[in-house]
Amino acid sequence: MVVIGFLLGSCGGSSDPSGQVRVSAASSLSDVFAELESVFEAANPGVDVILNLGGSSLLREQILAGAPVDVYASASADTMAPIVEAGLSDGEPRVFARGFLQIAVPVGNPAHVTGLDDFGNEKLFIGLCDQPVPCGDLARQVLARAGVDPIVDTGSPNVRSLLTKIETGELDAGIVYVTDVRSVPGRVDGIAIPDAVNMAADYPIAVLAEGPNSDGARSFVDFVLSEIGQTILAGHGFVAP
């Protein structure tokens, strides 16, 4: 296969990676990292990528507490910064993708949400990601730029938890990433946020200095940054940095 051949020639280096590669990644990367895992493992049969998905701030705290992690992929530079400051990053993190925000509503939009102004409507059930989760911070910045004081009925620890609440009709609307709406076709509807107030999450990735499999970690990060990795990311709606 062309993809496998490319990866073996470009990501394996002088010695093929092997063993477990523990990757902690923001929950908004769930689907695309599942595909990246599958393709990388197919090209490197001796590797077992183990994904730990969750809110970027929660994953950061796990790493700072000593969790055995090889690669950290965060949804913001702010959540990555303490890792660098603690000397836990092997080299400078690299931004590998960008994702914009979008309003998500249940299929059919039963509450007739039209835009950001509705997030100040006390009659609607509104949800945002908690702070300091990146999707929560960015959503509040977008609302502030739009001049909207949100009335938030519930928070969520990560963007996929918020998406589930919208999908099941528990909420009338929430703010997630464009890629999250695309990940559940036919299960939620998306409403565009005007470009003038929308914001993007820049996703940095780093090899962790104290991870148990530094060779495997570097190979996986190289793959994410490679042409094939970037093509997979684009296929899930991420924008090149």
How much is the pLDDT for 14?
37
Mean pLDDT (the chain) is 93
Expressed as residue numbers, the domain containing 161 is: 98-200
Distance CA 81, CA 152 (A): 28
In which element (H, E) is residue 92 found? none
Count of structural domains, the chain:
2
Distance CA 64, CA 233 (A): 28
Residue 152 lies in a domain: yes
Tokens linked to 78: 């702010």
Residue 143 near residue 227, CB atoms below 8 Å: no
pLDDT digits (tens, 9 = 90+) for 43-72: 999 999 999 999 999 999 999 999 999 999
pLDDT-derived band at 15 (thresholds 50, 70, 90) equals low
pTM over 0.95: no
Q: How much is the average pLDDT of 81-92? A: 97
Distance CA 241, CA 227 (A): 13
Residue 241 lies in a domain: no
Residue 84 lies in a domain: yes
Rg (C-alpha) for the chain, rounded Å, is 19
Residue 11 lies in a domain: yes
- Look-up of token digits 């000593």: 66
Distance CA 153, CA 122 (A): 9
SS3 label, residue 171: coil
Do residues 46 and 119 both lie within one domain?
A: no
Do residues 102 and 196 both lie within one domain?
A: yes
Do residues 92 and 73 both lie within one domain?
A: yes
Q: Strand ranges (DSSP E) for the chain?
A: 19-26, 47-54, 71-73, 94-106, 126-129, 154-156, 173-177, 188-191, 200-207
Contacts of 130 (CB under 8 A, 6+ apart): 55, 136, 155, 156, 157
CATH number at residue 53: 3.40.190.10
